């Protein structure tokens, strides 16, 4: 069974809906419980044996680079890919092509999860496909991209469906294991993983959905309300997996 030692983090976002918290820092550097969101991400990755983190940055990227440097302060090697213009959730991988390992984690800087990354990686290697997505179950599907499954293979995505039209209650969580063969499916310029790349993989049977068997929480932080809810979870001691 393989081991994954590299992770890429999409950290280029501005965080307009988090203002005033993002007046002077990018979204990934907003502090939760005294540490930047991005540092929490790195600490989780480190626990699962990740040795190199590549940060895909754009907005106020110098703030991120100044804080993390070469990664010495956080105990992993940190490298950067700087976008000259926003390239979406897939485009930056083209810029990172020469840095990519054979298989790697990819995640969004604004999401936190207690997912066991070893389980996700094992599932990826077991199936041997290009992409494996951690699927999170939600009650209200109307705000998310919902997946339709055939066994554990993702066959299509339905964006923000009405509850009576949803093919499942499982959503794309924004946490993946990818094989570098994915580069063949990413066009030039701005590209969306969700709209441009994953549908192509699904058509070819190259996209697997991983549903954890262990209790797993997932948080996203796009708004001030979500920021306050996340802080409250910390204060109540509900996030020991981040300590």
Point out the residues that are catalytic. Answer: 160
Q: Closest by alpha carbon to 26, among 41, 40, 39, 16? A: 16
- Six token digits for residue 105: 């984690």
Q: Closest by alpha carbon to 144, among 111, 117, 115? A: 111
Q: 1: which DSSP letter?
A: -
- Six token digits for residue 85: 């213009």
Which residues, 6+ apart, have CB-to-CB distance to 109 below 8 Å? Answer: 9, 10, 11, 13, 27, 28, 37, 38, 41
Distance CA 196, CA 91 (A): 10
Length of the chain: 243
User: Alpha carbon of 39 to those of 65, 111, 112: distances in Å?
Assistant: 12, 12, 11
Strands (E), 52-152: 52-57, 77-82, 103-108, 111-113, 131-137, 145-150
């Amino acid at each position: 069974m393989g081991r994954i030692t590299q992770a890429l983090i999409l950290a280029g976002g501005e965080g307009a809906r988090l203002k005033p918290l993002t007046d002077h820092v990018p979204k990934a550097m907003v502090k939760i419980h005294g540490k930047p969101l991005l540092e929490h991400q790195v600490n989780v990755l480190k626990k699962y044996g990740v040795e190199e983190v590549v940060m895909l940055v754009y907005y106020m990227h110098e703030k991120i680079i100044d804080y993390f440097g070469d990664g010495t302060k956080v105990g992993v090697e940190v490298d950067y890919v700087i976008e000259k213009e926003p390239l979406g959730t897939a485009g930056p991988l083209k810029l990172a092509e020469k840095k990519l390992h054979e298989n790697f984690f990819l995640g969004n800087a604004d999401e936190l999860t207690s997912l066991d990354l070893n389980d996700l990686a094992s599932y990826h290697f077991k199936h041997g496909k290009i992409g494996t997505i951690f699927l999170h179950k939600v009650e209200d599907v109307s705000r998310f991209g919902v997946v339709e499954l055939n066994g554990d293979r993702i066959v299509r995505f339905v964006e923000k469906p009405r509850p009576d039209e949803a093919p499942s209650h499982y959503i794309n969580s924004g946490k993946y294991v990818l094989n570098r063969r994915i580069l063949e499916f990413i066009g030039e310029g701005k590209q969306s993983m969700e709209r441009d790349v994953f549908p192509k993989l699904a058509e070819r049977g190259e996209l697997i959905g991983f549903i954890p068997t262990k209790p797993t929480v997932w948080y996203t932080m796009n708004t001030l309300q979500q920021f306050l809810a996340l802080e409250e979870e910390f204060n109540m001691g509900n996030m020991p997996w981040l300590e």
